[in-house]
Amino acid sequence: MATSSSRKVLLGALATRLVLIGMLVVIGALVVASVAQAAVSISRAELNGTQLRIEGQASANRTITVDGVAMGTSDGSGRFRIERSGFAAPADCTVDVNDGSATAASARLSGCTVSSSPPPAASATLSSLAVSPTDVVGPDAATGTVILSSAAPSGGLRVDLISDNTAAATVPPSVTVPSGSTRATFAVSTRQVTNAQSAVIIGTVGGDFATERHAIITVWDSFHFANGSIAILPGGNGSGRVTSQPAGIDCAITAGNGSGSCSAFFPVGTVVRLDARPAADSSFLGWRGLPGCFDASKVTVARGTTITCQPGFSLR
């Protein structure tokens, strides 16, 4: 009887132990399942330049990672807010946000633009962009040239092109530098204009403005391309007369007021001599040093530019 009773006690204790072990296993499985199923929900994900902002809900008091980098912690209720400057935009504008769960939550960043053609990994970069000639009479053409820092990789290197003033000049959408070469040319088409206009020709690689290089072309009408002008600005309270060699200016100044031919056009590059002679009641004080007219005895005419010269006459 004693032996039978002992066996019953042992069997009862063993059964109780097995039940406890089973309960612990079930509880552990539930905990593991709970962790595995925990998920981050994103309510806001945006990128403004390099400023990242992400808000959402996660498990309480967890480290929040973005693409594997710890960037914040959720509070006691699980809410989190991440703000980080200097964040480089992913190529697909998508980030993975996680609180340590088995599966991360993916979020697409508003304000981010997917790069369809990222800059090539090759070492060659856009070194310079030039246009020749830089001054043309529309609609004459010019030639643009892109130059790389080193030879283009296999398959070549494409440079995207744009003009900021298509009313003056246009360019093709892109030009490709052939593999092994360091340069390529492209056509710059211009339009006929009634007044001088400039256009900035811009080149970039892969849409990355950090690679930008540019050149400026000025498109002229035929008259202002070939000529420039000189204008006389009266100075002082006296009177006198200003003439030019070659002829064109014959400006009478009376008590500080000018009349007659006080401005004239001359061919570009012409060196014009100005002579100032005072009236009988006045004295000539000299020329005021203005840009392009520091020496009135030899003023060089510039394309499409008016050079102003100011004589000084004073009453005696």
Give pLDDT, residue 244: 97
Please say whether the beta carbons of 38 and 101 come within 8 A: yes
- List CB contacts of 51: < 8 A, sequence separation 6 or more: 83, 84, 85, 87
Class of domain 126-220: mainly beta
Q: What is the CATH architecture of 226-315?
A: Sandwich (2.60)
Q: For 14-59, write each residue's pLDDT tens digit.
A: 445 444 444 443 344 333 333 334 468 999 999 998 899 999 998 8
Please say whether the beta carbons of 88 and 50 come within 8 A: yes
Q: Where are the alpha helices (DSSP H) in the chain?
A: 2-37, 222-226
Pairing of strands 157-163, 197-205: antiparallel
**Span 6-11, average pLDDT:** 43
**Span 180-192, average pLDDT:** 95
Beta bridge partners of 136: 219
Q: Which residue has the tokens 């360019």?
A: 171
Q: Backbone phi, then psi, for 138, in 5-degree steps?
A: -65, 140
Secondary structure element (H or E) that encloses residue 308, with its range: strand 306-315
Please say whether the beta carbons of 65 and 30 come within 8 A: no
Give pLDDT, residue 309: 96
Cα–Cα distance list, 23 to 12, 18, 19 (Å): 17, 9, 6
Please say whether the beta carbons of 42 and 107 come within 8 A: yes
Q: Which residue has the tokens 């856009």?
A: 126
Domains 126-220 and 226-315 share a fold: yes
Whole-number mean pLDDT of the chain? 86
Please say whether the beta carbons of 306 and 224 come within 8 A: no
HSE on the CB side for 73, CA within 13 Å?
4
Q: Which of 18-27, 89-98, 117-126 ranks highest by mean pLDDT? A: 89-98
For 94-160, the DSSP string reads: EEEEESS-SSPEEEEPBT----SSPPPSSS--EEEEEEESSEEETT--EEEEEEESS---TT-EEEE
Q: For 276-307, write each residue's pLDDT tens digit.
A: 999 999 999 999 989 999 999 999 999 999 99
User: What type of residue is 39?
Assistant: A
Rounded distance between C-alpha atoms, residue 165 and residue 114, angstroms: 27
Give pLDDT, residue 18: 40
A 10 A CB-CB count for 215 gives: 20
Give the residue, 1 or 254, on which the prediction is more confident. Answer: 254
- In percent, how much of the chain has pLDDT > 70? 85
- List CB contacts of 35: < 8 A, sequence separation 6 or more: 100, 101, 102
Is 0.85 topped by the overall pTM? Answer: no
Give pLDDT, residue 101: 75
Q: For 134-176, write each residue's pLDDT tens digit.
A: 999 999 999 999 999 999 999 999 999 999 999 999 999 999 9
Q: Backbone phi, then psi, for 34, in 5-degree steps?
A: -65, -45
Give pLDDT, residue 117: 54
- What is the residue extent of each domain of the chain? 41-108, 126-220, 226-315
